[in-house]
A and B are shown apart, each in its own frame.
Chain A
Amino acid sequence: MTLRFDIPEENLASILAKAFGNRSFLAGFIITALVAAVAIVSFFWTPYDVTRLIIADKTQSPSPAHWFGTDHFGRDILSMIMVGARNSIAVALVAVGIGMGVGVPLGAFAAARGGLVDEALMRLNDLVFAFPALLSAIMITAIFGPGAVNAIIAIGIFNIPVFARVARAGALAIWPREFILAARAAGKSRTLITLEHVLPNIVTLLLVQGTIQFALGILAEAGLSYVGLGTQPPMPSWGRMLFDAQTRMVVAPWMALFPGMAIVVTVLGLNLLGDGIADILDPKSRRQR
């Protein structure tokens, strides 16, 4: 769990060279870029219109006309997966944004101040961690109503302590360094030091955690939509597609197969990307011990 890091002293070109020499990063980058591209393309073009129901074409098995088959309303599964990608990415991305936006300042603040402030913030973290994320997301959406926005908020809240913890741990490792001492001797305030010296040095840590939380966010959104509390129909979402598939497993197993594979591929890509970034920037694994 303890992420170690070092300040990258190389220039951008050498980092990039190393990045694309890393198998995990390369695979993760390609998959993630592909998923993102599919999501972007879905804004302009999908093989079929996902809002049109053609009952005559319902539950058709995969064919050249419908690569991934059709669902119980005759909608093209491939087109729905494309639009669903857009939705999954948006929810997970905003949830990561919430987590970072609130969590990182909290964690950095706790590390800069130490003492009681630190202790209090960490206890608050314990509190949020005591609520299993999915359970609380269910509670939040149950109370405030289902929907993509509430799903984002629910997932985002549980990203906050994760980023607070990572930012604090990272910042605590930076504070005893000599260049911080120099900055303090120069009379800079704790806030300024945090902004100018601490945060730039923990960016990579946050990036790694960001990809992990992004992947978890996609899983969480799918879970919430699957139980009917996330994205609402008619907006296609991967989780909702799996819900629709469940009662039709015998007649149309492809309805369950392809949306699930879309989730697996996306999450796998993000995790590989995160692992790759950690590998490249972690001096311990760089030494190949």
Chain B
Amino acid sequence: MNKNVNIIIDGKTITAKEHDNLLNVARQNGFDIPGLCYHPRLSPTGACRLCVVKIEGTNGLVMACTVQVKDGMKITAFDEELENNRRHTLSYLLAEHNEEYDETYHDEFRPLIERYNLKEVAQRPIKSIWQNIPRVVDDTSPVLTYDSSKCIRCFRCIKACEEIQGKGVLSFADRGIQKYIVAGTGKWGSSECDGCGECIQLCPTGAIVEKPHRNIINIYKIDKKVVTSCPYCGVGCQIEVWTQNNQIVRVNGVEDVSPNYGRLCVKGRFGYQYANDRERLTQPLIRKNGKLEPATWDEALTLVANKFNEIRQKYGKKALAGYSSAKCSNEDNYIFQKFIRLAFGNNNVDYCTRLCHASTVAAMIRSLGDGAGSNSIEDFETTDCLIVIGNNIIETHPVTATFIKRGKQKGQKIIVIDPKWTPLVKYADLFLQPRLATDVALLNGMMHVIIKHHLINEKFIEERVEGGMQAYEQLKELVMKYTPDLVEQITGVPEKLFTEAAIMYATAPTAMIATGMGMSQQTVGTNNVFALLNMCLITGKIGRERCGINPPRGQNNVQGATDVGASPVMYPGYIPVTNEENRKKVAKIWNVPFEELDPNPGLTTLEIMDAAHEGIIKGMYIMGENPVITDPNQLHTIEALQNLEFLVVQDIFHTETTAYADVVLPATSLFEKDGTVVNSDRRVLRLRKVLEPTGEALPDWKIIVEIAARMNINIGNYLNEEEIWNEIRQVAPILSGITYERIEKQGIQWPCYDEYHPGTSTLYKDKFNTSSGKAKIYPVEYQEQSEKTSAEYPLVMNSGRILYQYHSATLSRKSDVLNAYASESYILIHPDDAVKYKIQDRKKVKVCSPRGELITTAIISDEVLPGEVFMPWHFHESPVNALTRNEKDPISKIAPFKYSVVKLEAI
């Protein structure tokens, strides 16, 4: 922290931090010095020359934005000479500037024109010349329009793209007075621009303006500006949503607030169209004579309650199960799990985390004690070395990736390990491309290198690992079998590369790992993460700031849903259902007899579907999930759903799953909700209601409470979400200290045990959360896949996500903007395989696996290895999960979405 110093501005003494930006300090203290090119999030430019001041002892006028505060500085911010100078400079800028204004954007220029009395043309010292400068208008982007006649060449957009987002897409073209902003070769639409809109948010003069809703937005007619959390991925970006007539017309990133500090991605800024979409569910539906028909809430809720009771009486309590939702709030998820445990009388509640990071969580809980990322998002920028493994982080967590790219600019070492090329490779020092599902071999090989080069951290192992060096010796014995030759043979990664990577990681002063679906979604998912954890532990790269392991979470509240107990094995706060003492405590809070709480773990997501398939589960309650698209082995899923006696789906849209529902209940979207979510770095963040509910839609928790009441089950009476949250705080100790009031502006990271606890930015600094307080090493062997390529199915298919679509695309595909970037399914195939199997670029192909088949478009690309293909899974018309299998990782029960044998046929 810099020391405090005193400076004097226009006779007033001000205390500031040494080296702080002078313009920023002056403005924060009420000196409204004009300026257009400076922005607190950017490095100073000094291009507009409006912020001139006088500093005693310095000749001439200096630009305040380029000066760092020093003790004793005496500054003149306002006098006649300065104001004259500013007025003159401003009129120069004005001469080259087109003043037309359509009230669709915030303009920082216009107030200055009035302030400096330049509104009347006659009062301007310099004549207008902008009409004579060639005007460049670029309207090719789906999200923005650039007009050079409004551009003051301030560098803000260029720096927004380069310094904040790390993309560097924008540049100046031409020179002198004709200079203008360019993306690509002059066409934004075909450039590398991915539409995050950072440049729009920072443009001071409306030269870069937003395209969506420009025909209706009027910034003087905005009804509401509400700060809430982004509904897409698990970064938890804070967004300010603007509405006009109960319609979202603009989204901005909230400046100065973690985790995103104003930054957004294309989905966060432009993906909101679904909230006002005409296809939203507006009233309850009941299936009558095979068709879903509108019904009243009372009719629908009574039917649901009666059916659930009937099934429980007829088949017993094991015949019911529920899928909770990572898209819903903590409050919704908490009420849902409470409902299952009390109304169904079992623990059959799970959700898509089982298909996502279940294996990561399983390994981390066993080894470290907590199933969450150990670090803060900010550490992605400041750690010395980062391994990104099985995680296409630029596309799946674009704002987390901005921290990495900024770290790279400061010299961070980046190692990408992925069977498929990802955009982060462009920033990487090393790119290791192992064959699919060979990760354990690769990581054991890297540990072999670390041990051979004596790069283990003995002190850490002795002090913080259970069994100390003895446990290490067991691991050593196992990994020493993974000789470089063997590892190269299994993984295909050259010895030189993984040796360099291992040494880079082990020798870095601080190092972090970001792991993703590539590691977790395998039948050996838990082992993969154990191998990663072993590497962390023997090198001591955990339990400190900027050291640790982090699984960025895919959905906005996938972290929170488990935190508040949407789990068949854990009560809220990660307390096992088998823990009797906790069940007693919870029974008291819930005001129910202790005996009513089932002490046995429930079924997991895929086990529930299997049980439905076998006829054991008869009734199911699905809240905000679309298993027909998201569960593996689609045919199996559909058969299971068809086999149910009664299926209730609660959602905001019709989905591929509502097609099999007996009752469909319309819920409010995240923009219509109050509550909280938890992001990937365990930050509890607020959701705030932006829009009035669509039609008769109700908040998820209210629907659940109503059903319970009609089943004569007491799951509590709540006036609002805050009351539910305060109950969660009693049940889950890790969340106890977090109140709505405390997170009004900034989120707080759990664990946070009381209202004076500041929250925890880095886990395991003093001890691990295991019973012994020490971490555990779990040595794991590489295992071959049970699924094997054959003459009939010669290729292995990997699946994943792309930037512009999101999961089963129920939300993202409602967005014209996102669809304009990408809305078609494809399969990537290596050029060698394309020749071998006679596949042509951009032509339709049939893809078959032993489970099913689909049709998509082939793209020939060396992003994948020979013998492997890759498909994004968002598109229901080419459903990747028709090809995947529902085999399970024995520990975490996750399915191998990343490994299916297939064949390709040209059609």
Q: Do A and B come from one complex?
A: no
